[in-house]
Amino acid sequence: MEEKKVSTVTEITRQIKLSLEQRFLRVWIQGEISNYKQHTSGHLYFTLKDEGAQISAVMWRSRAANLLVRPEDGMKVIARGAITVYPPRGNYQVDVDQLQPVGVGELQLAFERLKQKLSAEGLFDPERKKPLPPFPERVGLITSETGAALQDLRSVLSRRFPSLEVVLRPVKVQGVGAAEDIARGIEEMNRYGKVDVLIIGRGGGSLEDLWAFNEEIVARAIAASAIPTISAVGHEVDFSIADFVADLRAPTPSAAAELVVRDRSELLEVIRNIYYTMRTNLEERITAGREEVQTILASYSFNKPFDLLRQNVQRVDELERSLARTFFHHMQRTAQRTAAAQNQLKALSPERVLKRGYTMVRKGDRIISNAKGLSPGDSAVIRFHDGEISTTVKE
C-alpha cells in the first residue's frame, strides 16, 4: 500500500511562499487601482486589476512617502515590486516599492482634478487676490539655493533696485518631500513677518520636475499666506496649481523679479519729472498770484475801504468828543444833585435837631423814646448838642 506524504497547511503555504518569492523577486505590473485605502499607520492597501484578473497590493508607509502622485481609484498605474504570500490568509500580493501613473496623461488628470477642486473652493477667485506693495523694502525668495532661478532673481533685483533686501528660505523644488518643504517655507516666512512680498518658484523642467508646485499642500499654504505671493514656476508655457492660487503669476523667475520692483533709474526719472512739473506749476501760480494782487491793489474797489476807514476814523473822533462833553455835563448835574442831597441829610441829622434845643435820652445802649421807657431808680444819659449828663430817675 502506497505511503501518503501529508503536510500541514503551514508547511504547504511556506513552500508556496518560498517558490513565489524566489521566482517573482521583482516584477512590473500595469493595472487599474481599485479598493484604495490608506491605513492610519500610513500604509497603502489597494487592488490592481485589468479585464481578466486582479491582485492585491500593499505599499508600506516609508515607500508611500516618496510618491509623486497620490493613488486614487480608477487611476492606471505601473507598479514595481515583489510577489509575496501572507500566510495567515494564504493570499499572495504585490509588495510595491514604486508606483507611477501610466504616462503624462495620468499626471495631467491629477492636475485637472486638483484644479477643479480648489477652484470650487474659491482659491482661484480674483476677489481674494492681494495687491502687491508698490515699493517693497524686503523680498522673500522661496526656491532652491543651488538653482539657476535664484541667480536670475538676485541678478535682476540687484540691478533694478540695489538697496532692496532679499531674504532666502532655501527649499527642495523637486523629488521626495519637496512639496512639504515648500509649504513649510511659506509658513515660516509668514511667521517671520518681515518681508513685503514672496516669490515662490524654480526654473523650467518636465511636468514631473515641476510637480511639487502642483501639490495641494503647496496650494493651501500659498492661499493661507498673509504676505502677497508671486508664483514663478518654470518657463512661460508652464502652468502650475501654484500659479492659479498665488496673488500674481510670473512667466519666469526673472519676470517675477521685474514685476516685484520697479527699475531704480526709471523711478528716479519719474521723480525728477514730477519735481520739475510741480516746481514749474508752483512758479507759474506764484507769478499769476503776484499779478492778481497788484491788480487788486490798484483797483478802486480795493482802495474804497481805505477811504471808508478814514471817514469812520474821523466820525469816531467826533463821537468821542461829543461823548466827552455829554459825560462832563452829566457829571456836573450829578455833583449838584449829590450836594443838594447832602444838605438835606445834614438838615435832618440828629446833631441839627439837638442844636435846636432837643435832647436824646439813652439807657445803656437803648434810646428811650417815651417816659414809659424809664422807671424810678433807673440811670440814664441825657445828650445835648454840646455834651452829655448822667441822671437818676426819682419819680
Residue 243's H or E segment, with its range, is helix 241-245
Angle at the Cα of 296 (from 295 to 302), degrees rounded to 5?
A: 140
List pLDDT tens digits, range 154-186. 999 888 888 889 999 999 998 878 999 999 999
* Separation CA 96–CA 71 (nearest Å): 13
Predicted TM-score (pTM) of the model is: 0.52
pLDDT recorded at residue 67:
76
Kindly state whether residues 141 and 204 are assigned to the same domain. Answer: yes
**Residue 21 is assigned to a structural domain of this protein:** yes
**Residue 149 is assigned to a structural domain of this protein:** yes
**Residue 339 is assigned to a structural domain of this protein:** no
**Residue 207 is assigned to a structural domain of this protein:** yes
Residue 236 phi/psi, 5-degree rounding, is: -60, -30
Residues in the chain: 395
**Residue 4 is assigned to a structural domain of this protein:** no
Cell of 214: 502642483
What share of residues in the chain are helix, strand, coil (percent, to 5)?
45, 25, 30
Q: What are the pLDDT tens digits along the chain (395 aa)?
A: 456 777 788 887 788 777 776 778 888 998 888 889 988 888 999 999 888 888 899 998 888 877 767 788 878 888 999 888 888 887 888 999 888 877 556 677 778 888 899 999 999 999 999 999 988 999 999 999 998 899 999 999 888 888 889 999 999 998 878 999 999 999 999 999 999 999 999 988 877 788 899 999 999 999 999 999 999 998 887 789 999 999 999 999 999 998 988 777 777 788 888 998 899 899 999 989 998 888 887 777 777 777 788 888 888 888 888 899 999 999 999 989 998 888 888 777 777 777 777 888 888 888 887 878 788 888 888 888 788 888 888 87
List pLDDT tens digits, range 110-159. 788 888 999 999 999 999 999 999 889 999 999 999 988 999 999 998 88
* Separation CA 226–CA 187 (nearest Å): 10
What order of strands is seen across the sheet that includes strand 379-384?
Answer: 366-368, 360-363, 379-384, 387-392
- Structurally, the chain folds into a number of domains equal to 4
Kindly state whether residues 51 and 162 are assigned to the same domain. Answer: no
What range does the domain containing 39 cover? 9-101
CATH number, residue 155: 3.40.50.261
Closest CA to 160 of 139, 131, 132: 139
The Cα-based distances of 39 to 43, 102, 377 in angstroms read: 5, 24, 135
Closest CA to 220 of 256, 187, 257: 187
* Separation CA 297–CA 299 (nearest Å): 6
Kindly state whether residues 225 and 298 are assigned to the same domain. Answer: no
